[in-house]
Amino acid sequence: MTLSSLWQKVWHGFSTRVFTGYKPVPHKSQRFLPRADSVRKRPQVGELGGAARTIACDSQRGFDDVKPDGPRIWRGPEVAVRIGARLPASLRPYLPMPMVEYYADLIESIGCERPGDQLELFVTPDCEESLAGRLAECGVGEADTLAVISPGAKFGASKCWMPEGFAAVADRLIELKGAKAIITCGPGEEPIARQIGAAMRREGLVWDTPLLSLGELKSLIRRCDLLICNDAGPRHFAKAFGVPVVTLFGPTHPDWTATSYADERIVRTDIDCGPCQQKICPLGHHQCMTAITPEIVYQAAAELLQRRAESHQSASREHVHG
């Protein structure tokens, strides 16, 4: 099968199985793909200022310019459309869907077996040893309840919850759950981690120097009892290792990255301007994040810790009586 014929098969199956399955929603801020049968002619794609500029063509409704600052482009034999782009106003917007299902539909449409959404990650002995040494230096033992806070997000500032909010939740976990709290960060996120540490009333562990490697971060999340983070990569580490996670959502729609993970709690607020999918709040108020209170986040965290403790107790009883 030639590459061209393979693509023809993929696109045909993908469009009929995925795009036509979207459901309309009334909110004007949703800007997602239309049904495939709404857009038929292949548009022209040119270059403008070094960024791709797509013209979404519809045979009955005309053309609509797509700005060059949007997400990636799908190009196929029938249509090339920028995912997430604003299409003609006469086309109704559609609900997002989990990207894992999006791609699973894609590969299933060409006859491949649906892979499921179970994640699998591995750690290395050197990272495990490095982490164990660092935890020991900080006085964190195997029996300690360990909460990890990951306050960054490479997407942009709009995804990040307030440092004082993370600090308040960490203080409550220390005071009411007897937890040890570690604040991690990636390159460039050190100021956020330090602000959280400075705002805490209790002693937290700010791991900003040296920064954890990606492998050490995996080992840390695998070891912890709870992760609190923004909508960023570490939440998926938590699912892979079976660790409870509280994920804070602001400008992004949670349905795009839904994980179907029973031990994840999504915390977000509904506001008129969201989810905008913008890296920086275009209105300057960042209300989608500032409206999230420490109390709501703490309650989600406490519930997950309780579930984990009960699960461990149940497993211990079965082991004794087994």
Whole-number Å distance between alpha carbons of 60 and 53: 21
Q: What is the full DSSP assignment across 41-89?
A: SPPPEEEETTEEEEEEEETTTEEEEE-TTS--EEE-SS-EEETT----T
The pLDDT, as a whole number, for residue 74 is: 33
Cα 32 from chain centre: 18
The pLDDT, as a whole number, for residue 20 is: 34
Task: Using pLDDT thresholds of 50, 70 and 90, give the confidence band for residue 46.
Answer: very low
Whole-number Å distance between alpha carbons of 64 and 86: 8
**81 vs 272: which has the higher pLDDT:** 272
Q: For 49-90, what is each residue's pLDDT tens digit? A: 333 323 333 333 333 333 344 333 333 333 333 334 444 444
Whole-number Å distance between alpha carbons of 79 and 74: 8
**Which residue, among 102, 101, 31, 45, has the nearest Cα to 75 in the 3D structure?**
45
Q: For 141-155, what is each residue's pLDDT tens digit? A: 999 999 999 999 988
The pLDDT, as a whole number, for residue 116 is: 79
Say which range, 80-89, 213-222, 265-274, 276-285, has the weakest mean pLDDT.
80-89
Q: What percent of the chain has pLDDT over 90?
A: 53
Q: Is the peptide bond before 68 cis (omega within 30 degrees of 0)?
A: no
The pLDDT, as a whole number, for residue 82 is: 38
For helices 190-199 and 163-177, give the axis angle rounded to 10 degrees.
50
The pLDDT, as a whole number, for residue 158 is: 92
The pLDDT, as a whole number, for residue 4 is: 54
Say which range, 61-70, 100-109, 221-230, has the weakest mean pLDDT.
61-70
Q: For 126-142, what is the mean pLDDT?
A: 97
